[in-house]
Amino acid sequence: MKLYYVINGTKYLDNYLLRERLNLSKSTLQQLINHHQFSDKDIVRLQNRNLYSIKSLKPFVKKLLAIYGNK
């Protein structure tokens, strides 16, 4: 089963869903996100959480694989 948010036809993941998909701890994901520049148009702030568009997460994951993929 796939879980995500859909807002105006764009798919988004929150930190929890992203951690589950990438199999990362909460602190590790937070450090990686803090060091990556997401555009404000790619993030939706909903109550107390940030939602990241799938479109913006693809370059993020590619960057992670380029840096940490061979380790």
What secondary structure does DSSP assign to the chain, as a single string? ----EEETTEEEEEHHHHHHHHT--HHHHHHHHHTS---GGGEEEETTEEEEEHHHHHHHHHHHHHHHTT-
pLDDT-based confidence at 1, cuts 50/70/90? Answer: low
**The model scores a pTM over 0.95:** no
Residue 2 has pLDDT above 80, yes or no: no
Per-residue pLDDT, averaged over 39-46, amounts to 90
Counting the structural domains of the chain, the total is: 1
Mean pLDDT, range 29-43, rounded to an integer:
89
Domain, as residue range, for 43: 5-68
Q: What is the mean pLDDT of residues 22-42?
A: 90
For 5-14, what is the mean pLDDT?
93
CATH number at residue 64: 1.10.10
